Amino acid sequence: MSHTLNDRQMQRRIAEYGGKEVASSEKERTRELAYAAKVVDLWNARLARGAVMLFAPTIGAAIDGGTPWLRFYCPACSIRGEIDLRKTSMHRQAFVTSLIPMLSCQRCQPQPPFAKLTELARERAHDGRLAAPYMPPNPKDVSRC
């Protein structure tokens, strides 16, 4: 006995349930986006006041929350930078804190200190206080010996 639906049964079920499912999934998606924005706002507020970081938002939550720009600085030389999370090769479920080793200062070699995250922002800073946007190295560009 087969448990698959024929075309007529499938079309009838889509007509019967499809509209309700689409409307409920859109409501659920807007609820998730609002929650992601709240999480990012809470994280930014805790960073700003220097509180203990009990959690970190994921890259996907930062993007969905409308704050795709991660700002950071090097504690040794005070160079500031930012990265567009939409252009990273990291998985969307990775925490933004997992980017810290990748963001370490190249000027402070051979053992740079870990970068300090300052905020997740909605847009790129155009006030000139940042040195240059950080672009992570592309693994395809690295030649292998």
Express each pLDDT in 46-93 by its tens digit. 999 988 888 999 999 999 999 999 999 888 888 888 999 999 889 999
Q: Tens digit of pLDDT for each residue in 14-55?
A: 777 765 665 667 788 889 999 999 999 999 999 999 888 889
Q: Are residues 65 and 43 in contact, defined by beta-carbon separation less than 8 angstroms?
A: no
Q: Are residues 136 and 102 in contact, defined by beta-carbon separation less than 8 angstroms?
A: yes
CA-CA-CA-CA torsion sign (40, 42, 52, 69): positive
Q: Are residues 81 and 107 in contact, defined by beta-carbon separation less than 8 angstroms?
A: no
Q: Are strands 69-73 and 80-84 parallel, antiparallel or unpaired?
A: antiparallel
Domain residue limits, the chain: 1-145
CA triple 97-62-138, angle to 5 deg? 65
